[in-house]
Amino acid sequence: MRDIPSFKIGKFNLLSPFKFAGDPLRFLHEGFETCGDTFKLKLFREFTVSRDPAFFRHVLQQNNRNYKKGNSSKMLRPVLGNGLVTSDGDFWLRQRRLVQPAFHRERLQELFLTMGQLTRRFLDEMEQFRGKSAVDIDAKMMGITSDIALKTLFGNMTHEDKAQIYQQVSRTQKYLVTRVRRPYRIPLMAVNGENRRFQTDLAYFNKLVFDFIHQRRVSGEQPNDLLQLLLDSTDELTGEQMNDQQIRDEAITMFAAGHETSATGLSWLLLELASQPDMVSKIRRESEIFDTVPSFEHLMQMPYTREVVEEGLRLYPPAWTMTREAIDEDEIEGLRVPKGMSMFLSVFELHRNPNIWENPLAFDPDNFSPEKAKTRTKFGYLPFGAGPRVCIGQQFAMMEMQLILAALLKRFTFEVDPAHHVRLHPQIVLKSNNGIKLYIR
């Protein structure tokens, strides 16, 4: 076995943590350009970083039992608890069985009706911005996807609670990312009020969700939403149901993982399409089959729109990285992986790997045409992960993005604000540094 090559900055490598924290994507790209598709990197601890599809296949599928969730996922536990994103082992498998029915095709068709109703209302709200100053489209996409997530999860929720949750999710993400990328700031966060504000946000979040669960249990009502499904879910093997803490953890996980990823993907898509009038025209031609928003059946007749969404998720994968930790020593592609090694799987670089994609930086929906799909490397495109832990809500997300994108482009034209510079700024999801501003015509 060969040792994995190391990527170092300078003789003593002291600047690596600071360069990574300042611009993770550029720093990692330099590593791949220097060392190839897999390398070791020492930040505050050592990582193996890879964009090699063989590494993804091995870690996520072939030998997935040897790789537990990475240390970085632990930072999410104060918020997500022991939900599907953060849990491991037998507990995770049991929860997966309990939650899976929420995303069966029949249930998705029912939830799609709610998506359509909220999107129709959202289109009317967007009219007020037509012909006026450029708007932060990222904030607008966060608004509609959070409305969909909260409505499909909890049914009715007050406008005040929605606004409060939106603010808290943004603050919480920045807080958690800072603790991981700049651990030297942790002592300061204990005295400058950031820790206290995080605990206050979390307490509000918890009270809101536990109140929803309690009210639903005592009301006797059984509305058609995901919270009710979580309450009713029964393990076929044991006959057990989830307690309130487990329901809280899965509900928060569904919300956190389910709305921001779709919103971010849509924002990058609209930015790209604002400079691609031919692609917009093709989507509009497909959109002639519906009046305001597409139905579930309409989506099946709109293959080009789906290809555009898939290409957006290739070039701008919201879940831009995955982390795992090796339980025992392993060998991948002739390279030695020591026991305890932290694995940093760069989905962003995988999707832009020139060894896999022709013209990898160009936005080209033809990458997902039926002809090219047949020859594409299976583990070269993983916006929702792979293996047993593949994202449980991927079909929900794809439906949501196709629905919103097609409805928006049928009604509006989006134009780039040349005065607003946008730069990739990866946090827990792949965000922009200062929002994405577009004119609405």
Q: Which stretches within 241-387 are classed as H helix?
A: 244-273, 277-286, 296-299, 303-315, 347-350, 370-375
Structure tokens at 6: 């190391």
Q: Which residue has the higher pLDDT, 12 or 441?
A: 441
The set of residues, in sequence order, having a beta carbon less than 8 Å from that of 392 and lying 6+ positions away, is 84, 96, 99, 100, 102, 103
**β-pair partners for 322:** 345
State in Å, rounded, how far the first CA of the chain is from the last one.
59
Domains of the chain: 16-440 (1.10.630.10)
Q: What is the pLDDT of residues 308-332, one digit of tens each?
A: 999 999 999 999 999 999 999 999 9
If DSSP codes are grouped into helix, strand and coil, which group holds residue 294? coil
Burial of 441 (0-12, 13-18, 19+ CB in 10 A): exposed
Are 180 and 56 spatial neighbours (Cβ–Cβ below 8 Å)? no
d(CA 269, CA 121): 21
d(CA 416, CA 273): 9
pLDDT at residue 70, as a whole number: 73
d(CA 179, CA 70): 15
Q: Which residue has the higher pLDDT, 234 or 272?
A: 272
Inform me whether the pLDDT recorded for 199 exceeds 80. Answer: yes
Place of tokens 């929900």: 396
Mean pLDDT, residues 403-415: 98
Please provide the average confidence, as pLDDT, over all residues in the chain: 90
For the CA atoms of the chain, what is the radius of gyration? 22
d(CA 221, CA 245): 20
Q: Which stretches within 317-368 are classed as H helix?
A: 347-350
Highest averaged pLDDT of the listed ranges 40-44, 129-133, 236-240: 129-133
Inform me whether the pLDDT recorded for 220 exceeds 70. Answer: yes
| Sign of the dihedral through C-alpha 51, 55, 59, 61 | positive
pLDDT at residue 106, as a whole number: 82
* Least confident piece of the model among 154-163, 413-422, 426-435: 154-163
pLDDT at residue 301, as a whole number: 96
Burial of 387 (0-12, 13-18, 19+ CB in 10 A): middle
Q: What is the pLDDT of residues 61-106, one digit of tens each?
A: 999 999 998 766 777 788 888 888 888 888 888 888 888 887 888 8
Inform me whether the pLDDT recorded for 50 exceeds 90. Answer: yes
Residue 158: phi, psi to the nearest 5?
A: -70, 155
Q: Which long-range contacts (CB under 8 A, 24 or more apart) does 370-378 make?
A: 377/53, 378/53, 378/57
